[in-house]
Structure 1
């Protein structure tokens, strides 16, 4: 009998032996319920978390399946304490339900119920939950304040009792939306994602960049058939959503409105940016209340892992509206994954990046970490700098311009993105390379013009800031060179790799380079960013600059 690639430890960590022949299969199944914590070269460390198990439970997986996965791939017997705690944790999901007192009446009083009175007594006595509840109706039922549906779910998750929300939704103002599958059809995994959302009511769909999350959003809109509010990261993304909806659905231009810094249109389908929703006027979030006043039947959260804090607050008040979150990763650097779970909804569907790549729907990618030396003069500045300045000095090392140029020459004739964090570094890079620069200060029309030229092959090289991380469709990009990033952000790594994953006409691989300054905090942060890619099954080839 071959020993498996996993060592399951009693502290709920799982060690994966990367070189084992079954490592890829084990990694694929672990991703359903465990989070990658560390990804050095030979042994990767995962952790089985409560939230991961509850998301797996909501997506239809059972404790028995998860324990069987660990048993199947374990090198040594799985500790019985771990198996027992997995079963106990997953049993906690849904033992409390939020319902209507009269299920047949959508306007009847909101209640929280359980068949186990002891659980209700426990939560009703909790300091943060008691004010959200009214006087006990019976041993199994407490009334819930109408405004408190979202806040109650947050507090219950924090106490370890995630409630299943069965209270239903306001239908919203009806509006017919049909998919127009003329010359195209929904892929199998896209249809499964729409079906899983339709059955579950609200929740999150996790798909790789380039896998067609917008089409899943359109499918959800057609399934609901009501006025829809779509929340996106920026105005460029808003216009790409509009164009895709016009191409894929029966919606006309008159039915789709844009609500952003440039335009304020509220129509049957309204696409609003997170920036405008979080803009304050006289200390108030004026636009939040305006959008909340409309009778939406569905709210679509694009890139839900980037949801700003004020939008969480709005979402807590919108629990009577159906919600779908779309994302490439549930990782949030602020640790608010629990709020996504409780307020948007649990994970309803996900598809592994490598599975979709194997089907030919996203391009294969090779990932490289190129280690460069900090020049002597900059090394001195680095050594005497305050901690908060060290990352900027290390990640802006002047030698990165030379190395980026070598990589561009190595990929002559390909479409290349140079991506970074610091505007002065990007300005210097664009000037050195003699190519356009796109930042947050670039007017939207100018951004769209440059992105279009890049898509059409009239411009082969762009230097871009983090504005290109989000929802920008650049199907012909085949090379990305990351010269600096948002510290150790795994979600940013996912977005940047995603710029390259649209399938290439000739089936070619994409190439993703990260330039890392050796023996500095730049290298430390790079290791954290790479955890996401390792979790998806991508391996980094580590190169020295002189190997290029």
Structure 2
């Protein structure tokens, strides 16, 4: 800060705190403050007088020393936000971050770790710069500078270089209709594209910077160049397919309309927004904008049925125009909703390849990098739209989503929370003691999967779940998530609630979900079948009783079942103390914390003990293992 700066603005209490930290002592004189701020002593004294008048600082006079000043509210100074940037490692440490800071960091950095005291560790990777939702590197740099306390020129050079790397190759449509790869210069085409791409991907070089791309190798070209460090922009004239007049009967919210406009401009993209923000409605707006026949890919047949009902309810499409294609139905219509599993099978694939789709929608798009699902993104000539609450994957291949489908759209969760469009849930991790000595001993004797299962099925979790649902939220609609069939059945019996798993008939699942939506049922115990996409509005409470070996994405989805515009929302994650579940719980909630959602932790509340063990609960037959005790199957599989 220079003298001229301080003459035009008052000294803020945060600047005073910064000066105290730099000074290294809890008190400071006007002379020392003047040196820290690079101002005159008179100006420093005036600033301190103003802070004292506002009640932010106090002064003390010592007989043999000059007057010193100190913070009035030490708690505020300790708890305030601190951002420390390590440019060499490209890591950012944030203490007590405000929502604005988390929202800005989410645009260009990945949350790497969190602590239980409110600390966050972010890292800026090249992929984060490539995928940052900015049209110019100047906009990206401005956002970074608004958060980072220091800005070394070497870091800015790296950011600008990485941003430019993401704009050095582009796919275009030649005037004669074929696909052309355009490089920023001759060297990139010859030394990168021609050298790295497999034989046959480029049919011919047509100029110093252009090459003809084999139409059926476009996805491969994107993958290879991405892995080489050069993401490819897709500027082709995408097909619109057979014309289809789709009219949306809903008025889009402003942010949804912005999502649609950005998609319409680019022709491809991934909507990244919290559950309950209306991504499906926005997707229907994109279908209307394209105006062509559409293929919607989903992970489960329940979600296919839900999509069909939403389209028939909220658009002018009629029954004969909307079909489902999966293990239960085989209908190809102008708008077809198919499961990833079925669409990836060879015997069905030609049906989808042959039709002139104008748009392909990938719901729960994080499935795309999986081997059987990624085959669907070879439909590169179409408009492509992905939907997800969380693009993160356990195998760190989430970058393929944006490479193969399109750039991220709509990543600012905080704006939706602040505007009241989506309920910001409170997420709480509770550490549960062992339900009995026997249960703890069994856990100690087991290894690997069996050890995780023993921790997941800790009988004390039943008491804590009952406490949450009956004592804390007795009148609220709740979902209880489990990973193992035995555990789900035990909880369902204790709660007198149905247990929905992949083994249940689809018709029975539909009936129970419908009863929950209509308010005829208050509690459901569910396996992975409810993780993705299933619309369960008004679920005000979610208890994650087991399944903590899952991914950050799974944690987002389960918390997301409570994210709705109305009412309070509470997510309780149960972890058996002293087991790997503690680390898994932190991993699952990390992505939520990075999006500005409140996450806290503490002890289970159903019981207080002196020795870390709760009174014995029903633990019969815990050692008996049969087929039902195996890990619950992936309910999305067909």
TM-score, normalised by the number of residues in structure 1: 0.92
Within the candidate set 420, 443, 456, 1:360 is matched to 420
Q: How does 1:149-160 map to 2 (within 5 A)?
A: 149-160=218-229
Root mean square deviation of aligned Cα: 1.8
The answer to whether the Cα contact below 8 Å between 1:36 and 1:45 also exists between their aligned partners in 2 is yes
Cα gap change, 1:418 to 1:142, in 2 (>3 Å): same
Match for residue 329 of structure 1 among 364, 371, 390: 390
Structure-1 residue corresponding to 2:233: 164
Question: 1:420-435, aligned counterparts within 5 Å?
Answer: 420-435=482-497
The secondary structure found in structure 2 opposite 1:541 is: strand
1:8, 1:79 within 8 Å by CA — same for their partners in 2?
no
Shift of 1:397: 1.0
State the structure with more CA Rg. 2
CA distance in 1, matches of 2:231, 2:216: 18
Asked if 1 retains the 8 angstrom alpha-carbon contact of 2:548 and 2:588, the reply is no
Q: Counterpart of 1:402? A: 463
CA drift at 1:303: 0.9
Paired with 2:153 and 2:458, the residues of 1 have a C-alpha distance of 50
Q: 1:69 to 1:124 in 2, by over 3 A?
A: closer
1:9 to 74, 79, 86: 86
1:474 corresponds to 2:568: no
Q: Given the alignment, which residue of 299, 323, 328 partners 2:360?
A: 299
For 1:430 and 1:547, locate their aligned partners in 2 and report how far apart those are by CA, in whole Å.
18
Matched with 1:118 is 187
Counterpart-to-counterpart distance in 2, 1:11 and 1:313: 39
Q: Is the 8 A contact 1:13 1:45 kept in 2?
A: no
How far did 1:66 drift? 3.0
CA contact (8 A) 1:230 1:272 kept: yes
Match of 1:426, SS? helix
* 1:22-101 aligned within 5 A: 23-41=98-116, 42-56=118-132, 59-75=133-149, 77-101=150-174
| Residue of structure 2 aligned with 1:177, choices 246, 251, 256 | 246
Quick one: which of 583, 586, 592 aligns to 1:533? 592
Q: Distance in 2 between matches of 1:541 and 1:171?
A: 48
Matches of residues 341-360 of structure 1 in structure 2 within 5 Å? 341-347=402-408, 349-360=409-420
CA drift at 1:19:
2.1
Q: What residue number does 2:77 align with?
A: none
Map Cα deviations across residues 114-156 of structure 1 (whole Å, 9 max, x no partner). 2411111222343444542234322112222221111001111
Match of 1:240 among 302, 306, 309: 306
User: What is aligned with 1:393?
Assistant: 454
Distance in 2, matches of 1:312 and 1:356, equals: 31
Deviations 1:69-123 (A, max 9, x none): 3333334x23332211111000112211112333xx3x2x322122411111222
Q: Which has the larger displacement, 246-255 or 192-201?
A: 246-255
Q: Determine whether 1:259 maps to 2:325.
A: yes
The answer as to 2:606 corresponding to 1:542 is no
The Cα shift of 1:540 comes to: 2.1
Q: Are 2:467 and 2:606, in contact at CA under 8 Å, matched by a contact in 1? A: no
Distance 1:46 1:237 in 2: 34
State the partner residue of 1:379: 440
In the other structure, the counterpart of 1:452 is 514
Which is bigger in relative contact order (C-alpha 8 A, separation at least 6)?
Answer: 1
Number of corresponding residues: 526
Residue 462 of structure 2 corresponds to residue 370 of structure 1: no
Scaled by the length of structure 2, the TM-score of the pair is 0.79
Partner of 2:290: 224
Aligned to 1:211: 277
CA pair 90-463 structure 1, distance change in 2 beyond 3 A = same
Whether the 8 Å contact between 1:207 and 1:350 is mirrored in structure 2 is: yes
Of stretches 383-392 and 8-17 in structure 1, the one that deviates more from structure 2 is: 8-17
CA distance in 2, matches of 1:12, 1:539: 28
In structure 1, the residue matched to 2:52 is none
Assess if the C-alpha contact under 8 Å between 1:9 and 1:79 holds in 2.
Answer: no
Shift of 1:167: 2.3
CA distance in 2, matches of 1:396, 1:86: 47
1:176-230 deviations in Å (ceiling 9; x for gaps): 111123xxx2100110000000000111111110111111110011001111000
Segments of structure 1 that go 5 or more residues without pairing to the other structure are none
Cα deviation per residue 1:412-464 (whole Å; 9 max; x = unaligned)? 11111111111111011111211111111222221121111112221111101
| Contact map agreement 1:416 1:478 (CA 8 A) in 2 | yes
Partner of 1:271: 337
Cα deviation, residue 159, structure 1 = 0.6
| Maintained 8 Å contact 2:94/2:121 | no
- Give unmatched runs, 5+ long, in structure 2: 1-13, 19-80, 608-638
Higher mean C-alpha displacement, 485-494 vs 218-227? 485-494
| Shift in CA distance, 404/296, structure 1 to aligned 2, threshold 3 Å | same
How far apart in 2 are the matches of 1:61 and 1:122? 27
